[in-house]
Chain A
Amino acid sequence: MVPPFDPKAYEQAVVKPLRGWNGRELPDNLLARYAVDLAMTDQEVERRLREVRSRWNKGLTSPGFAQKVYRAFLKADEALQQEHGGELARIAFWRAYATDRKDANRQRIEDLAKTLRQNFGALGLIAPGQLDATVRAAYGALSPDEVDEALAGAGVSRSAPVELPKSSGLLDTTYRHLRDHLIDAGCSSVVELLRGEPAPFRLLDEGAAAGVSAVAVERAVARENRRAGNQGARQALGILATAAKAGTDLGKLALFHLLDDVRKQHDAGVPASALLKQLLATPWEADEARLAVFSVLNESAGTPMGSLAAVRELLEAGRLVAARQLVSSISGAEDAAAAAQLVERQRALVNELVEGARRALRDGAEADAGHRYRQAAALAADDEDLRAEVRRIPPEPALALVAQEEGVAVRLSWRPAPSHDDATRYRLVRREGRAPADADDGVVIAVESGRTVGVDPKAPAGTKLGYAVFASGEGAPWSRPAGTVVEVLPGVADVRLSFADGAVEGVWSVHPDAIAVDVRRGDGLAVRVHDRTRFRDRTAREGTEHVYGFVARYRRADGTEAESAPVRARITAAGRPQPVRVLSLRPADGAAVPRIRLSWKAQPDAEVVIRRASEPCPWEFGAVVPAAEIAGYGEEVTGRRDERDGWQVLEADVPTGSYRYVAFTMGPDGAIRGHDESFGIALPVSGVRHQRFGDDLLLAWEWPEQVGTAEIHWTGARGSDRLLLTRQQYQTAGGCRIPCGPGAATVKVRTKVQTNGGECVSPFVDVVVADRPPTVGYVVEMTRRPLVGGGTVRVRLDTDQEIARCAVVVVAAQGPVMPRSPGDGVELFRGERTLRPGHQVELAAELPRLRKPYWVRCFVETEGVRVTDPSVKQLKVS
């Protein structure tokens, strides 16, 4: 059964392959052209010819090349009908034709196969475009099936070239070092280096390339570490490890390395077979190596011709390097010159930005350098060297490193620079004698992300210590140091005094470098110390309060002794510990994290512990609870303790939300439950900034998550006030606008959150708004003489602050634009006046004849004084 005629399939199989037909000769496969099957009967042939001719006629209305093909088919059909007449409709004619054609075409097929073998046999690959062009050039009579037959005979297959990496992803110098180290290591490829042996590999399919990864580098490093020698391999692996960390695609790097020489040799005219041979020796899988060489050959063949528009497009897309390469391929001289000019302009801009960035880096302005580099990178995004340079910009250094003794350790805190974010890492480094100069110059204490405090628990005492903090971003080098030098002389810590068996006993901890601890009682008695950490004072009188002072002594490197600051502790001998009756809590101001300040009346003879819990305290006030039991109630609040005016003060970082804080006085029989207080704290706002608009101040800040209300207090020229603002109101009003008036102002912002446990407030964040410079206001009155022109100008000046010898210039100028400086017009008055608030000073001058529109404007030339213009109505005459 012969299948029915399918116009779509016919067009696909017969017409479409003729796209780009040169019009000289049609393929002579009439069986395909007429869609005749040799199994047809005469009637079927006749019907098929009818159907095909109908299709051709319809095709005359088709757009594009198909119309030409159908017209040519119809013309050829006319000639065939004249030659063969009714024979065309008989199957016998077609069978005889098929036999004759088979013999005639055999020669053409063999000829095409020979051509393909000679030109493409070395790699056995041909691009579809190349094949089409070859067939169109000399074998247009062959049908697609016959072309396939010739391909098979030549042992060549169709294949599309693949996109190969044009750069290594490394800096040129780094790449050259890698190549040299690979030669030293005796490895022909990155893959061999990673595997440690020359085994066959694949790189072009993504799954296989994934084997060339950071993990493979780590494995190779571990392998090389187990071996001795082979410095070349170690150094090459070091480069790969760094590249992997910087996000370089190692698969592409490996490919680039393999093809780097192939490209150069191809440019030098080395034949494809020789190129393939060296790749097969690596030993790359043969099919991939062939495809790689084939793709390299097609790179040069496929270089696109440039145009001015393409160059402009590339420049707009920030692809300066690609645009520069394309300029050379523009054929028109004028277009080429214009394109070169455009490229040169953008290149100059990039160079200017890069130079500026480098200058800024040299001047220590990393933020400015980063900004300029980013601008340059946006204009030349495909410049690998520039991108690598951008990656090498260190972040700004951290600010204000402070080192303080905390117990026997040193607590270090710093502020992040404005450009730092949560991902910024900080490395704390310590060095004796001076502050570390770089991130490896000393002992690394900690590397933290997003934290701005660190503790050095092993700081040597009695010597000058330099600390520095270095910042680094993703893949960036360490910043300049923010350093400080301190002499660490820790006092004693964790002092506990107790009265038992008629004696006061004291225990504490001290820095291991301390050579001795001196203890002196308040009445001047020196107390004997055992093992630097305890004493027993049998002379203490019962029922009396005693104060003990502790001083740790250290030996400096020069042999002299140094003493710590004294630490004092007090005890009432035999006094019974009392429960804490008053516990006050409030947010600690100025903290960037939730921090509270707790205070209670100090008891000289007892230790007070504060515990925080979300549930109510199960014990009554005054109850004595075994020490083991209170450990099950919430958690202890720890932080920095201090004693002021008889009050113990504890500043502690706490989680946000509302909690119950309970004081326990530690006694010999257990903990005495004291006063409890519920208190909630919220996250403070951050990044508060302000902008003056007239007498109003627009405040903006970043709201913490889950916070919906802020309270703003301010004190300014118009007194003090407060405002409660919701997040939605802030959003609607476009920030927080407060009428603080002119002059300096102090603004405090804190957040409020309602929770089940009550209201939580954050610490205040303070903003100080600087005072405005003295401002001179003025009023202009003009008395004009009609017809004659000219007249008199009176300018009355006033000020908000006293200004002695204020230099004033009154200027008149013609034209539609107001004078912007005294030089823009004719000076009517110039002189110095002393101005006082509430006291107007009048200036009068002759107004010359001027053509309308004209202006009279006042300028003040005294440094630091600003002038405020009145309404334009007073200034302009039109």
Chain B
Amino acid sequence: MSKVACPYCYHRIDGSKLRFQCTGRASPGRDRCKRTLDEVRQRLTGYNSDSLPTFPPAESRNPIPVRTAPCPDCGTSTGIRACPVCHTPLPANFAESRSPLIGMVGGKSAGKTVYTTVLAHELRTNIRRRFAADIWFAGDQQGGSGSVSDWLAGYEQALFSDRRLFESTASSADGLKVPLVLQWRQPRRSLGREVHSTTTLSFYDAAGEDMTTQEFVNAQAYLTSADGLIVLLDPFQLKGSLDRITVPGRSRQDADPPINVLTRITELLRSSGGVSARRKITTPIAVVFSKFDAFFPMLGDGHPLLRPAPAGPRYDEGHGRDTDEHLRAFLTDLGADDIDAHLRSHYKKFRYFPVSSLGAEPDYDEGRVDPGGVRPFRVDEPLLWLLGLFKVIDRSAS
């Protein structure tokens, strides 16, 4: 079986050699297993709470992988699978589903956390409806306070209901942080029958500070394991932006040119992936320019970048390519064509996306979202492009 990346520790693991985790139920005549601190899991994922023991499946010559196994300590049969490296319980059917790991990176103040929150909201509402898919956050492995669902709910409440911005994401110690793992289950027609396929997606929202030095980038293990990357760049840092739009004062201070962020990521992908100097990096990279609402007045009403994508349960390749080319021209207009030159030199597959998570400029001084609320602009397209490439969703012909 092919190797997939664990969505929690980012190590490539063999889907046929997953461990089992005890259910914690007692079996007749034997004591139930106790939760204890799993040091391996703690070291690799930063998970500090007690957890039930995990164990490898019994050695067998049968080539068909077993679905359940008895716990060697308490004897209870379990079907909960866990990562053989970090021992974190994996979503049900993880072994049988495709599990692309999508890394979310970007420069400081590019708006990654806001983007992740709005994208998660879109996934659970509009995208789910559009694709008639069931999308849910898989096994909240960290559980309790500070869990994925907790912080996501907190962020959604802050953005959508309280119209409040949140502070910068803190850097994660040792590059460890809880990823957002979601499962996408969608009906498909196969040989005339309707079958359901499940895909596990893992997002990691890195603190922007993590991208400011090469050492930090190196520490981000998930980058090297990612099947696709969404790179958020702050368009306010593009060379010509200052002359064309009013850039918020705070953005003037946190200046880290997008090309620097891209260069560091390229260095990491090249060195860790052993990509030869003559070849290009094959990891697809969605280059997202966030806070794009600031450019709406500059572009004017009928600009191709403001045209909505055609509706339907697919990624529209033609519309995506148009957007890509117009953004390339936009970058050249702003004197930021070094970004395009860099991407063309190093990446086999990349595409530009204009995105605005909030849809209107927030009040940075007061930390408030626009009074009209959150109005996401094309936030779904980078993810849908990657999902189209991974064949999770359909792509319309270009």
Contact = CB atoms under 8 A, between A and B. Distances in A.
Contact of A694 (B249, B252, B307): B307
B250 interface: yes
A696 B308 CA distance: 8
A868 B300 CA distance: 12
A775 B302 contact: yes
B246 A371 contact: yes
Given A735-B372, A735-B375, A820-B329, A869 B304 contact: yes
Given A318-B253, A732-B126, A872 B321 contact: yes
Interface string A851-878: 0000000000000001011011100100
A698 B375 contact: yes
A871 B252 contact: no
Contacts of B252: 349, 375, 378-379
A775 B300 CA distance: 13
A872 B249 contact: no
Nearest to B356: A734
Interface string B311-328: 000000010011001101
A703 B344 CA distance: 46
A329 B365 CA distance: 33
Contact of B376 (A701, A734, A869): A734
A542 B302 CA distance: 72
A872 B84 CA distance: 48
Interface in A654-690: 686-687, 689
Contact of B308 (A694, A731, A869): A694
B398 to A, nearest CB: 7
Contact of A735 (B161, B304, B373): B373
A693 B372 contact: no
A731 B372 contact: no
Contact of B340 (A318, A693, A696, A816): A816
Interface residues of A, number: 43
Contacts of B329: 817-818, 820
Contact of A687 (B246, B304, B371, B374): B371
Interface in A143-193: none
B249 A378 contact: yes
B14 interface: no
A200 to B, nearest CB: 44
A308 B252 CA distance: 20
Interface in A725-763: 730-735
B125 interface: yes
Interface string A422-434: 0000000000000
Given A702-B371, A816-B344, A872-B322, A733 B253 contact: no
B296 A691 contact: yes
A731 B126 contact: no
A141 interface: no
A689 B301 CA distance: 14
A334 B374 CA distance: 48
A873 B374 CA distance: 34
Q: On chain B, which size bracket covers the interface?
A: 35 or more
A713 interface: no
B250 A701 contact: no
A351 B382 CA distance: 40
Given A378-B253, A817-B337, A871-B318, A687 B372 contact: yes
Contacts of B394: none
Nearest to B341: A816
A775 B307 CA distance: 15
B49 to A, nearest CB: 31
Contacts of B372: 687, 689, 700-702, 735
A873 B253 contact: no
Nearest to A769: B301
A733 B374 CA distance: 9
B306 interface: yes
Contacts of A392: none
Contact of A873 (B302, B321, B373): B321
Given A378-B249, A872-B321, A876-B325, A734 B302 contact: no
Interface in B230-262: 246, 248-250, 252-254
B370 A700 contact: yes
B307 A693 contact: yes
Nearest to A697: B301
A349 B251 CA distance: 14
Nearest to A378: B249
Nearest to A316: B253
Interface in B148-206: 160-161
B308 A693 contact: yes
A374 interface: yes
Nearest to A770: B301
A817 B359 contact: no
A447 B9 CA distance: 64
B116 to A, nearest CB: 16
B306 A700 contact: no
Contacts of A730: 373
A576 interface: no
Contacts of A318: 253
B96 interface: no
A378 B300 CA distance: 30
Contacts of A375: 248-249, 252
B229 interface: no
Contacts of A693: 306-308
B301 A692 contact: yes
B373 A731 contact: yes
A733 B160 contact: no
Contact of A734 (B249, B332, B375): B375
B373 to A, nearest CB: 6
A57 to B, nearest CB: 32
A116 B75 CA distance: 78
A820 B372 CA distance: 34
Nearest to B300: A866
A731 B160 contact: yes
Interface string A755-780: 00000000000000000100100000
B115 to A, nearest CB: 14
B285 interface: no
B50 interface: no
Contacts of B374: 731, 734
B25 to A, nearest CB: 40
A360 to B, nearest CB: 12
A375 B161 CA distance: 28
A371 B296 CA distance: 19
Contact of A868 (B246, B302, B365, B376): B302
A689 B373 CA distance: 12
A772 B302 contact: yes
B344 to A, nearest CB: 7
Interface in B325-347: 325-326, 328-329, 332-333, 337, 340, 344
Contacts of B328: 816-818
A374 B249 contact: yes
B83 interface: no
Contacts of A696: 308
A772 B374 CA distance: 26
B223 interface: no
A379 B253 contact: yes
Nearest to A686: B371
A734 B359 CA distance: 8
A817 B332 contact: yes
Contacts of A869: 304, 322, 326
A-B pairs with lowest CB-CB distance, top 7: A700-B372, A375-B249, A378-B249, A702-B371, A735-B375, A692-B301, A734-B375
Interface of A: 315-316, 318, 349, 371, 374-379, 686-687, 689, 691-694, 696, 698, 700-703, 730-735, 772, 775, 816-818, 820, 866, 868-869, 871-873, 876
Given A349-B252, A379-B249, A731-B373, 8 more contacts: A687-B372, A692-B306, A698-B375, A772-B302, A818-B329, A820-B329, A872-B321, A873-B398
11 contacts: A376-B249, A379-B253, A686-B371, A687-B371, A693-B308, A694-B302, A694-B306, A702-B371, A735-B373, A772-B301, A872-B318
